């Protein structure tokens, strides 16, 4: 099963102070626990751990560890969603935990004056999927650290290992990404950021388990073997007054599979006490269908490509959540963050055909305790 991280949002829990873009290397350790549950009978439980340690005035090293444990009552049908706006697949198992993913990340940061360099590597292991990746990010701070220019590069080299005997046309899945961004502090209470991203994927890009089943044919999913995409995003953080702050973002994505998408995020945060911040966030996502997907039940033997994943169709999704940040009075170096979100797609024939539900609904939570030392 290919399991992707499912708690990624463009709008994250943000500290309510906007001073500069200067980074601060600081020793810290954190423990977290995330959950996901949807109406497709999928549950995911994910403990996390992270440790960052300064080894000199300029260097910091870190390690992150994440374990995803997945249960799914319907897992024997070959596929289940475990991420927001994503579908993954798995083999059947008699264990209560149907699959596990172990994902360690090693990284290091070098900071000298206005220059910050971060690089590292990632590895993940599952019963039928192995992932490897490296990443590097360089940030240059200008204008008395009120402006930041950055470039980030990542490349993965993953491999499928299906649990049943199926000869894939290729077993690799390689994905690369380049991010270019500029961040600007407009005033002590307002900052903006613009990001351009280019994504490139090659290899076996569909699932080994997804299939199209009609009265007159039965075919495994088959996608194009390469995909190129571009994304443009803008975001901002604004402190309304001493109690309220808001952040917002918009992202446009387009690729050579014919998919265009728009994502809008908004979040309003309030200081309910000197050590307690909470609020509400909303997210709206919409996309067009890929140029090779067809209406359910209309594929023919003459078609070159077949899709059963709803991400290849046109759909909308909505997310509403509540974030929380708490700093205990007696422990200045401790920060607790938590959130709960509800996610729902629009009614979709692909979802109905695969999950026997009109739409996909999910609740996911995060909880993390961080201690600086």
Report the pLDDT value the prediction gives residue 90, as an integer from 0 to 100.
37
Residue 82 has pLDDT above 60, yes or no: no
pLDDT of residue 23 exceeding 90: no
**Token reading at 73:** 């009552």
In the prediction, which pLDDT does 128 show?
A: 87
pLDDT of the residue at 50: 97
Cα distance between residue 90 and residue 74, in whole Å? 10
3-state helix, strand, coil in the chain (%, to 5): 5, 60, 35
Query: Do the beta carbons of residue 173 and residue 201 sit within 8 Å?
Result: yes
278-296 per-position pLDDT tens digit: 999 999 999 999 999 999 9
Q: Quote the radius of gyration of the chain (alpha carbons, Å).
A: 22
Cβ-contact 344, 351 below 8 angstroms: no
What residues contact 208, with CB distance under 8 A and at least 6 apart? 89, 128, 160, 162, 166, 168, 220
| Poorest-pLDDT segment among 20-34, 242-256, 312-326, 346-360 | 20-34
* Residues 221 and 309 sit within 8 Å (Cβ to Cβ): yes
Q: Higher pLDDT residue, 77 or 98? A: 98
Q: What is the pLDDT of residue 255?
A: 98
Q: What are 166-224's pLDDT values in tens digits?
A: 889 999 999 999 999 999 999 999 999 999 999 999 999 998 988 899 888 899 999 99
Q: Which of 177, 48, 29, 157 is nearest to 101 (CA)?
A: 48
Average pLDDT over residues 28-40: 95
Name the more confident of 66 and 127: 66
Mean pLDDT, rounded, of the chain: 87
Q: What is the rounded CA–CA span in Å between residue 333 and residue 110?
A: 23
User: pLDDT exceeding 90 applies to what percent of the chain?
Assistant: 76
User: Cβ distance 252 to 240 under 8 Å?
Assistant: no
Measure the CA–CA gap between 190 and 238, rounded to whole angstroms.
5
CB-neighbour burial class of residue 2 (10 A; exposed 0-12, middle 13-18, buried 19+): buried
Q: What is the pLDDT of residue 118?
A: 97
DSSP codes, 187-247: ETTEEEEEEEEEEEEEE--S-SS-EEEETTEEEE-B--SEEEEEEEEEEEEEE-SSSEEEE
For domain 28-372, which architecture applies?
A: Beta Barrel (2.40)
Q: Where are the domains of the chain?
A: 28-372
Distance CA 299, CA 320 (A): 36
- CB distance 64 to 49 below 8 Å: yes
Residue with tokens 């979802």: 351
Long-range CB contacts for residues 272-277, cutoff 8 Å, separation at least 24: 275/326, 275/327, 275/328, 275/329, 276/324, 276/325, 276/326, 276/327, 277/16, 277/324, 277/325, 277/326
Cα-flanking dihedrals φ and ψ of residue 28, to 5°?
Answer: -160, 155
What's the mean pLDDT in 44-51?
A: 96
Render 82-126 in DSSP notation, one character per residue: EETTEEEE----SSSS-EEEEEEEEEEEEEETTEEEEEEEEEEE-
Query: Regarding beta strands 211-214 and 217-220, do their DSSP bridges make them parallel or antiparallel, or are they unpaired?
Result: antiparallel
SS (H, E, C) 25-85: CCCEEEEEEEEEEECCCEEEEEEEEEEEEECCCCEEEEEEEEEEEEEECCHHHCEEEEECC
Tell me the whole-structure pTM to 2 decimals: 0.86
């Amino acid at each position: 099963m290919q399991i992707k991280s499912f708690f990624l949002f463009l709008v994250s829990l943000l500290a309510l102070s906007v001073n500069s873009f200067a980074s601060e290397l600081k020793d810290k350790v954190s423990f977290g626990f995330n959950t996901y549950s949807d109406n497709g009978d999928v549950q995911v439980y994910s403990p996390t751990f992270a440790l960052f340690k300064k080894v000199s005035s300029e260097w910091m090293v870190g390690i992150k560890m994440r374990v995803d444990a997945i249960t799914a009552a319907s897992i024997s049908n070959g596929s289940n969603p475990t991420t927001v706006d994503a579908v993954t697949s798995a083999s059947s198992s008699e264990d209560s935990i149907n699959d596990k993913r172990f994902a360690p990340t090693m990284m290091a940061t070098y900071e000298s004056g206005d220059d910050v360099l971060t690089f590292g590597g990632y590895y993940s292991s599952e019963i039928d999927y192995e992932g490897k990746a490296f990443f590097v990010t360089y940030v240059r701070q200008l204008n008395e650290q009120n402006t930041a220019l950055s470039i980030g590069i990542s490349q993965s080299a993953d491999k499928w290992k299906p649990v049943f005997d199926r000869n894939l046309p290729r077993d690799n899945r390689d994905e690369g990404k380049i991010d270019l961004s500029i961040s600007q502090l407009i005033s002590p209470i307002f900052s903006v950021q613009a990001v351009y991203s280019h994504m490139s994927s090659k290899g076996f890009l569909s699932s080994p388990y997804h299939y199209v089943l009609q009265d007159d044919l039965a075919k495994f999913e088959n996608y194009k073997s390469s995909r190129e995409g571009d994304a443009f995003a803008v975001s901002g953080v604004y402190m309304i007054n001493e109690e309220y702050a808001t952040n917002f973002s918009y992202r446009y994505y387009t690729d050579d599979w014919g998919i265009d998408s728009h994502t809008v995020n908004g979040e309003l945060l309030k200081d309910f006490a000197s050590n307690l911040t909470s609020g509400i966030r909303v997210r709206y996502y919409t996309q067009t269908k890929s140029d090779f997907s067809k209406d359910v039940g209309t594929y023919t033997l003459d078609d070159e490509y077949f899709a059963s994943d709803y991400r290849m169709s046109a759909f909308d999704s909505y997310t509403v959540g509540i974030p929380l940040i708490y700093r205990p009075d007696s422990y200045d170096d401790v920060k607790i963050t938590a959130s709960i979100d509800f996610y729902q797609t629009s009614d979709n024939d692909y979802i109905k055909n695969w999950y026997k539900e009109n739409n996909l609904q999910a609740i996911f939570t995060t909880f993390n305790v961080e201690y600086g030392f």
